Amino acid sequence: MSKTHIFLSPLRTLSRILPIVWAGSRKWSVLSTLLMLLEVALGLTVLYLLKQLADVVTELVSQDGSNAHAAPVLWYVVLTGITSLAFLATHAMSNLAKEANALLVAEYIDQKIHSRAVSVDLAFYESPHYFDTLERAREAGNQRPAQVIGNLMLLIRSGLMLSGVMLLIVSIHWLLLPVLMLAIVPAAVARLYFTRHLYDWQRRRTQMERHASYLDWLMTSDMHAKELRLYQLGDYLKDHYANLRGHIRRGRMKINKRRTYADIAAESIATIAFFVVLLYLAWRTSQGKSSAGDLVLFMLIFQRAQSLGQEVIQRLSRLYEDHLYMGLIFRFLDMSPAMVDSHSHRQFPEKLVEGIRFESVSFRYPHANNFALCEIDVRIKPGQIVALVGANGSGKTSLIKLLCRLYDPIEGRITIDGVDIRDFDLEGYRRYFSVVFQDYSHYAATVRENIHFGDINHSISMPSIEMAALKAGAHSFIEDLPARYDTQLTRMFDNGQELSIGQWQKIALARAFLRESQLIILDEPTSSLDPGAEFEFFDTFRERINHRAALIISHRLSTVRMADYIYVMDKGKICEKGTHEELVGLGGIYHGMFMKQAYHYR
Ligand SMILES: Nc1ncnc2c1ncn2[C@@H]1O[C@H](COP(=O)(O)OP(=O)(O)OP(=O)(O)O)[C@@H](O)[C@H]1O
């Protein structure tokens, strides 16, 4: 690292932190700065008054008894006492202001991290680099920006105090200044070196730390509790976890040991320097070249200067550490989504006319070698129910992800009424779809909220929520829950209620039905429903979706046959298309699948 970089990059970090602290809490930022300045002023005043007090006491002692006036001494004692009290009160208030400031700034930085986390492209989740960056940003902690300001203020305060004490020291003998430096500088160098070393080591072991956290989560979360017991994975995972933690601990201890040896060496240099000077001053005093007062003052002041020096070093190394860790937060905040809003901001059509078209669309996942979709041509007309069928891994879900603009095609384009979907405003565009993915979410919230999450930007009336639940076939079991639509779901919080997988799927469907979208996309929507519920659902499906267009993925051909048009996918390509009757007549893949499924029912 070049010398200019070492100095410039902390300054650059500081220039980014100050606006964050300012935006996080203006009032407390101003107040804590003012209180810190007042604290320094009062601290220095106390030092000055003590020196004045020493002077008047010396003068009083040197006067003969009849002329001696004790009044100035009393005045200085009272004044010093009052100033010391004011200093203590300001110190306490300053800490309070700093704490309030730190809490508000921490909330602000959390908001920024969350905004970035919910807006990054799905593609980021494909790479361990994203998780490492997020983990490091989290490790850096949301208190860092406020901490930087706090450390900076303490550095200024200790620096000013140290300068005052150094002036006093030089007044005893100029040679004491280089000796003081000898007591401070080696410790400073050791600290800064190990701060950097520890930071580099922590960065290197981020993935190992994440791995350990993952194992910890596997062993403690309810999600894996059943399998863990049945497959008796507990001991295996425990050993794996212990190995990782042991490795991390040994690495940490190695650095800690080296740091302790360096600290001992630096402290020894400081102590030897102190005693050599003490010896020198004692010799001078014995020779009558210095006063006994100088010797006493040196012993009092040198220790104070040394501890202030250590304080300055500590603040400097903390600031350096903060600068390094803030870099990790900024690296995360600087991740910019590749899916950007188009400049044309085309309005999504009020009512579909031509419908949706995939035109020779090809797509490969980031970091993947093979194409998941190759030259796909698909059309969904307004009001049409289209089904996608195909073996596992044939590309059905990938096609949906592209339609929802979670990814963009590598080749070809997707259009809506002739307009490339990349020309629509991204947020607005996604609002026109209701989607239920295979791995839909189970939110630890009330039933009402779980459904409302389908259209959170609008305030939704209770009848609309009930209507969505009715269409999804969920209303009747919700009515039986202890607090009906206000029942808290999952066991994560007090009074939580767990649902069956099929009931969760109905809640996910209700969430999709709530939104006034133009297209409903359902990926295996009834995989967990019992045959009766599934039959009922599809028997009146067109009414349930208000005759809107729908794209359905299903492996059950009994479901698929009610679609207006069917695309059959194989290895990322469309290999057959047509109505159910046409495809059965074709005698191809679809016919084979249909015959196999029908065989088991005969
Ligand atoms: N996030 C991903 N990163 C890399 N490759 C992926 C990713 N998701 C899916 N794939 C790959 O893309 C191909 C298509 O997967 P996709 O999920 O679209 O299949 P599918 O037809 O929906 O399968 P299923 O019926 O099992 O749900 C598969 O080869 C799969 O391994």
Residue 391: inside a domain, yes or no?
yes
**pLDDT above 80 for 334:** yes
426 and 475 both lie in a single domain:
no
Of 154, 455, 171, 193, which is closest to residue 315 (Cα–Cα)? 154
Tokens of 356: 């949706």
Conformation bin of residue 412: beta by default, left when phi > 0, alpha when psi is -120 to 50: left
Q: Estimate the crossing angle of helix 176-204 against helix 206-220, to 10 degrees.
A: 50
The residues near 124 (Cβ < 8 Å, ≥ 6 apart) are 130, 335
Range ranked top by mean pLDDT from 72-76, 318-322, 575-579? 575-579
Q: How confident is the model at residue 158 (pLDDT cuts 50, 70, 90)?
A: confident
Same domain? 194 vs 69: no
Q: Which residues contact 358 (CB under 8 A, 6 or more apart)?
A: 376, 377, 378, 379, 399, 402, 403, 412, 414
Cβ contacts of 15 within 8 Å, gap of 6 or more: none
Q: Tell me the two tokens of residue 492.
A: 């994560």
Q: Is residue 108 part of a domain?
A: no
Q: What is the dihedral of CA 194, 199, 201, 204, to 10 degrees?
A: -160
Q: Region 168-175: what's the mean pLDDT?
A: 78
* Least confident segment among 105-114, 204-213, 293-302: 293-302
pLDDT of residue 568: 95
Contact 33, 347 (CB under 8 A): no
* Cα radius of gyration (the chain): 36
- Give the span between the Cα atoms of 74 and 57, in whole angstroms: 10
The answer on 380 and 492 residing in a single domain is no
Higher pLDDT, 171 or 424: 424
Based on the fold, state whether residues 125 and 265 are members of the same structural domain.
Answer: yes
Q: Residue 225 above 60 pLDDT?
A: yes
Verify that 404 and 466 share a domain, yes or no.
no
3-state secondary structure of 150: helix
The string of pLDDT tens digits covering residues 530-584 is 888 888 888 888 888 888 899 999 888 888 888 999 999 999 999 999 999 999 9
Least confident of 167-171, 232-236, 481-485: 167-171
Structure token pair of residue 394: 């044939």
Do 470 and 413 have their domain in common?
no
| Average pLDDT for 473-486 | 94
DSSP bridge pairs for 420: 415
Structure tokens at 199: 């930071």
In a domain, 601, yes or no: yes
Q: Kindly give the distance from the C-alpha atom of residue 589 to the centroid of ligand 1, in angstroms, as a whole number.
A: 20
Same domain as 168, residue 46: no
Most confidently modeled of 67-81, 496-510, 533-547? 496-510
Q: Is residue 537 part of a domain?
A: yes
234 CA from centroid of ligand 1 (Å): 30
Judge whether residue 185 has pLDDT over 90: no
The more confidently predicted of residues 479 and 61 is 479
**524-532: long-range pairs with CB below 8 Å, 24+:** 524/438, 524/553, 524/554, 524/555, 525/436, 525/552, 525/554, 526/554, 526/556, 526/559, 527/438, 528/501, 528/502, 528/504, 529/473, 529/502, 529/505, 530/502
Query: How high is the pLDDT of residue 66?
Result: 60
Residues 131 and 236 in one domain: yes
Residue numbers of the domain that contains 441: 436-516
Give the Å distance between the CA of 496 and the centre of ligand 1. 34
Please give the Cα distance from 335 to 531 (Å, whole number).
46
Tell me, using a 6 A CB cutoff, whether residue 397 lines ligand 1. Answer: yes
The dihedral through the CA atoms of 398, 399, 403, 409 has a sign that is positive
Average per-residue pLDDT for the chain? 86
- Give the mean pLDDT of 348-352: 81
Rounded to the nearest whole angstrom, what is the distance from the C-alpha of residue 366 to the centroid of ligand 1? 12
Question: Measured in angstroms, how far is the CA atom of residue 394 from the centroid of ligand 1?
Answer: 7
Q: Does the Cβ of 396 fall within 6 Å of ligand 1?
A: yes
Would you say the CB of residue 368 lies under 6 angstroms from ligand 1? yes
Same domain (yes/no): 425, 444:
no
Label residue 136 exposed, middle or buried (CB < 10 Å: 0-12, 13-18, 19+): buried
What does the pLDDT look like over 424-446, one tens digit per residue? Answer: 888 778 888 888 988 888 999 99
Q: What is the pTM of this model?
A: 0.75
Does residue 542 lie within any of the structural domains? Answer: yes
Q: Is 311 in the pocket of ligand 1 (CB under 6 A)?
A: no
413 in Cβ contact with 359 (< 8 Å)? yes
Residue 409 contacts residue 361 (beta carbons within 8 Å): yes
Give the pair of three-digit tokens for residue 598.
């029908």
Greatest distance between any 2 Cα atoms in the chain:
129
| DSSP element (H, E) containing 567 | strand 565-570
Verify that 228 and 306 share a domain, yes or no.
yes
Kindly state the DSSP code that residue 172 receives in the 8-state scheme: H
Distance from Cα 398 to the centre of ligand 1, integer Å: 6
Tell me the best of 131, 397, 435, 571 to mutate to test the pocket of ligand 1, counting ligand atoms within 8 Å of each CB and taking the most.
Answer: 397
CB 557 within 8 A of CB 593: yes
Higher pLDDT, 160 or 219: 219
Report whether residue 395 contacts ligand 1, using a CB cutoff of 6 Å: yes
| Per-residue model confidence (pLDDT) at position 5 | 56
Confidence of residue 352 (pLDDT cuts 50, 70, 90): confident
Is residue 91 assigned to a domain?
A: yes
Ligand 1 mutation target, pool 363, 365, 407, most atoms within 8 A of CB: 365
Best residue among 122, 125, 398 to mutate for probing ligand 1's pocket (most ligand atoms within 8 Å of CB) is 398
Tell me which residue has its CA closest to atom 29 in ligand 1. Answer: 393
Residue 114 in domain: no
Domain boundary among 296, 321, 338: 338
pLDDT of residue 49: 84
Boundary of a domain, candidates 338, 370, 396: 338
How many Å lie between the centroid of ligand 1 and the Cα of residue 364? 10
Q: How confident is the model at residue 192 (pLDDT cuts 50, 70, 90)?
A: confident
- The residue assigned the tokens 């030259």 is 375
Nearest atom (ligand 1) to Cα of 125: 1
* Average pLDDT value for residue range 170-192: 82
User: Residue 45 corresponds to which amino acid?
Assistant: T
Residue 334 CB neighbours (<10 A): 9
CA of residue 585 to ligand 1 center, whole Å = 29
Choosing from 71, 101, 131, the residue where a domain stops is 101
Same domain (yes/no): 29, 66: yes
Per-residue pLDDT at 370 exceeds 60: yes
**What total number of domains does the chain contain?**
4
| Residue 24 vs residue 402, higher pLDDT | 402
Categorize the per-residue pLDDT at 6 as very low, low, confident or very high, splitting at 50, 70 and 90. low
Asked, for residue 154, whether it belongs to a domain, the answer is yes
**Ligand 1 atom index nearest CA of 390:** 21
Mean pLDDT within 322-330: 83
Burial class (CB in 10 A: 0-12, 13-18, 19+), 560: buried
Q: Which atom of ligand 1 is nearest to the CA of 572?
A: 14
Q: For the beta carbon of residue 183, count every other beta carbon within 10 angstroms.
A: 24
CATH number at residue 455: 3.40.50.300
Question: Does 277 share its domain with 153?
Answer: yes
